[in-house]
């Protein structure tokens, strides 16, 4: 259990770091201790509070066809920001850019939308890293 929690903490901290590089809206003062503490809070939320919330909100999850689970994950990020003064999530503001002759408009997301997109990105990267580790483990055996 401790090995699994430690692995999860490291993967979440890497996911937070990569999300910071993508959206540039997470601030932990470039302090590794703050990053690891934030990932530890998210790990505790993932293993202890999230299963309880999933059971309590099961009727809402069924009615919303699973969308309520996305909001449960966002609650975890809100809890992390609440408990850690040096860990903040700000608005997402990107400039317009052109890629492959396609013009993309600037992205402006405030408050809850910024938390929601940040949470989705952290979870996507975290799940991607877990799948990579599983494949590496299968190759080794």
What are the C-alpha distances in Å from 100 to residues 95, 97, 104, 124, 131? 16, 10, 10, 25, 30
State residue 83's pLDDT score. Answer: 95
* Separation between Cα atoms, residue 9 and residue 6, nearest integer Å: 5
Show the tokens assigned to 85: 């003064």
**Using an 8 Å Cβ cutoff, are 91 and 108 in contact?**
yes
- pLDDT by 10s per residue, the chain, length 141: 789 999 999 999 999 999 999 999 999 998 999 999 999 999 999 999 999 999 999 999 999 998 999 999 999 999 999 999 999 999 999 889 898 989 989 989 999 999 999 999 999 999 999 999 988 888 887
Show the tokens assigned to 2: 């401790």
State residue 40's pLDDT score. Answer: 96
Which residues have a Cβ under 8 Å from the Cβ of 42 and sit 6 or more positions away?
Answer: 12, 16, 76, 77, 80, 122
State residue 106's pLDDT score. Answer: 92
State residue 32's pLDDT score. Answer: 94
**Using an 8 Å Cβ cutoff, are 132 and 22 in contact?**
no
């Amino acid at each position: 259990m401790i090995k699994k929690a430690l692995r999860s903490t490291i993967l979440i901290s890497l996911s937070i770091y990569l999300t910071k590089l993508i959206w540039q809206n997470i601030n932990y003062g470039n302090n590794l201790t703050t990053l690891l503490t934030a990932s530890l809070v998210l790990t505790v939320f993932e293993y202890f509070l999230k299963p309880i919330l999933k059971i309590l909100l099961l009727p809402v999850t069924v009615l919303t066809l699973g969308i309520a689970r996305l909001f449960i994950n966002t609650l975890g990020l809100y809890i992390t920001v609440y408990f850690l003064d040096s860990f903040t999530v700000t608005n997402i503001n990107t400039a317009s850019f052109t890629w492959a002759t396609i013009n993309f408009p600037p992205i402006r997301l405030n408050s809850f939308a910024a938390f929601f997109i940040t949470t989705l990105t952290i979870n996507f990267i975290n799940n991607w890293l877990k799948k990579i580790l599983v494949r590496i483990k299968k190759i080794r055996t």
